[in-house]
Amino acid sequence: MRTKLSTTRQVLLPGPLREQLGLKPGDPVDVKLDGDSIVLTPRRRQRRRGKIVIDPITGLPAVTAGPRAPILEHKQVKEILAEFP
């Protein structure tokens, strides 16, 4: 595919490429030189979706962000909860 620089020196990525990569306005992209080539690499944001599960110990509903989510210490949880009204 071919594109060109705009008068403001910006490069427009063709729609099919943006769609294939799932790029949206504001998504971060790393830029580097590789010889005479410019390489753009989408930087994937860590998107975590919480879901409600039943705690196996208490039997109460709890929120989890998955097995790779960071483990929060009591102090961190207290600080987060203090921000809620």
For residue 16, the SS3 value is helix
Range of the domain at 60: 51-82
pLDDT of residue 45: 63
Return d(Cα 41, Cα 28) in angstroms, integer.
9
Using pLDDT thresholds of 50, 70 and 90, give the confidence band for residue 81: confident
8-38 per-position pLDDT tens digit = 999 999 999 998 888 888 888 999 999 999 9
Total domains, the chain: 1
Contact 41, 30 (CB under 8 A): yes
Cβ atoms of 62 and 53 closer than 8 Å: yes
DSSP for 34-45, please give it: ETTEEEEEE---
Minimal CA–CA distance to 30: which of 21, 45, 40? 40
Could you tell me if residue 56 is inside a domain? Answer: yes
Residue 60 in any domain: the answer is yes
Each residue of 35-79: pLDDT tens digit?
999 999 998 766 667 788 888 899 988 888 777 777 778 888 888
